[in-house]
A and B are shown apart, each in its own frame.
Chain A
């Protein structure tokens, strides 16, 4: 069995929030996804991915901002990792 990995970045920390970004890695070698290869996300929300058979295996923790850096912006905060074994 080979692993396919889907990473979804969501609008809030809720799994049923809208997708704002995504990445895909294909352990089968049948596809070669890369940076900037599409403008349309594979799912509208994280919950839609669940309904399509993706298994959630990691979600971002909610980390309070470091004191003095409350207004800094950096990486996307709400990252969810899914897998399929095919």
Chain B
């Protein structure tokens, strides 16, 4: 499953740390998309929690083929590291005219890990148009400490993403991102195949870090999103600095002195 090609750059990783997702449009070839739609009509093979990818998805299986798409393999390895385990997988369906949307939520339960994260793959085998209930997600929400659907009160947030995409699109998301299946107002079933991956190694410089000192890294990590309150948006940058320190192994990394300033206590040790 390992690949050393198509790894993300540091700038792309920083963009993920800020936004909580990495989107790849139409990276899955049409023949595999057609195979996916046939596969999704039946039950998926059962996978026990924590199964290594190679065991969960044997050679020749649809899921293995999906994960061997070079762009998918490279991005996944960059984010979660080599040899991840499969947490679970599931086909999510939004039925035609089903009348309601999922409440905005983060999957599983509140997850306070500051130096590790799971990655969720969302794959769309067919084109998703605006009325088909494409996944709603909120860029930059992944570091918020909220539990599952306690965010269900939020119907709309400025800068939210209401997914439309071409067939064969894959989005990789941080486990904490707020999202939900939107109401499908069309006459077409909308499929999304999700796999959650757990890392098995420290997520440190798992990408192509040749551009680590590119000023664009700090620019990406400093990005604000339209739904942020200005004051809380500053805290988001502080928390991204902490995550970037963990991902790079550089405990001195900072942006505009945000983390350094509030830790400066000359002559004090306790």
Q: Which residues of A contact B156 (CB under 8 A)?
A: 21-23, 35-39, 41
CB distance from A30 to the nearest CB of B (A): 16
B219 beta carbon closer than 8 Å to chain A: no
B199 beta carbon closer than 8 Å to chain A: no
Q: Which residues of B contact A37 (CB under 8 A)?
A: 101, 155-156, 182-183
If the complex has contacts A22-B155, A73-B143, are A36 and B235 also in contact, measured as CB distance less than 8 A? no
Q: Which residues of B contact A23 (CB under 8 A)?
A: 153-156
Q: Which residues of A contact B229 (CB under 8 A)?
A: 10-12, 20, 76-78
Residues in chain A within 8 A of chain B (CB atoms)? 7, 9-12, 19-24, 32-39, 41, 71-78
- Measured CB to CB, the nearest residue on chain B to A75 is B146
CB distance from B98 to the nearest CB of A (A): 11
CB distance from B97 to the nearest CB of A (A): 12
Please report the C-alpha to C-alpha distance between residue A10 and residue B158 in the assembled complex, in whole angstroms.
11
B192 beta carbon closer than 8 Å to chain A: no
Q: Which residues of A contact B99 (CB under 8 A)?
A: 32
Choice from A12, A20, A71, A72 contacting B157 with Cβ under 8 Å: A20
CB distance from A77 to the nearest CB of B (A): 6
B144 beta carbon closer than 8 Å to chain A: yes
B236 beta carbon closer than 8 Å to chain A: yes
Choice from A11, A21, A33, A35 contacting B180 with Cβ under 8 Å: A35
Choice from B102, B183, B226, B236 contacting A20 with Cβ under 8 Å: B226
If the complex has contacts A12-B229, A21-B157, are A34 and B100 also in contact, measured as CB distance less than 8 A? yes
B253 beta carbon closer than 8 Å to chain A: no
Q: Which residues of A contact B144 (CB under 8 A)?
A: 73-75
Q: Which residues of A contact B154 (CB under 8 A)?
A: 9, 21, 23, 35, 76
A34 contacts B239, C-beta separation under 8 Å: no
Please report the C-alpha to C-alpha distance between residue A39 and residue B162 in the assembled complex, in whole angstroms.
9
B230 beta carbon closer than 8 Å to chain A: yes
Question: Number of residues in B with C-beta < 8 Å to the partner?
Answer: 36
Choice from A21, A32, A35 contacting B158 with Cβ under 8 Å: A21
CB distance from B177 to the nearest CB of A (A): 13
- Measured CB to CB, the nearest residue on chain A to B103 is A35
- Measured CB to CB, the nearest residue on chain A to B225 is A20
CB distance from A36 to the nearest CB of B (A): 4
- Measured CB to CB, the nearest residue on chain A to B102 is A35
CB distance from B87 to the nearest CB of A (A): 24
A19 contacts B158, C-beta separation under 8 Å: yes
Q: Which residues of A contact B101 (CB under 8 A)?
A: 34-37
Please report the C-alpha to C-alpha distance between residue A35 and residue B138 in the assembled complex, in whole angstroms.
12
Please report the C-alpha to C-alpha distance between residue A47 and residue B37 in the assembled complex, in whole angstroms.
49
**Given A12-B229, A71-B238: 5 more A-B contacts, CB < 8 Å:** A34-B183, A35-B183, A41-B156, A74-B145, A75-B151
Q: Which residues of A contact B232 (CB under 8 A)?
A: 73, 77
B235 contacts A74, C-beta separation under 8 Å: no
Q: Which residues of B contact A10 (CB under 8 A)?
A: 229
Please report the C-alpha to C-alpha distance between residue A71 and residue B150 in the assembled complex, in whole angstroms.
20
Q: Which residues of A contact B228 (CB under 8 A)?
A: 20
Interface centre among A10, A11, A22, A38 (most CB of B within 10 A): A11
CB distance from A71 to the nearest CB of B (A): 5
Please report the C-alpha to C-alpha distance between residue A60 and residue B231 in the assembled complex, in whole angstroms.
16
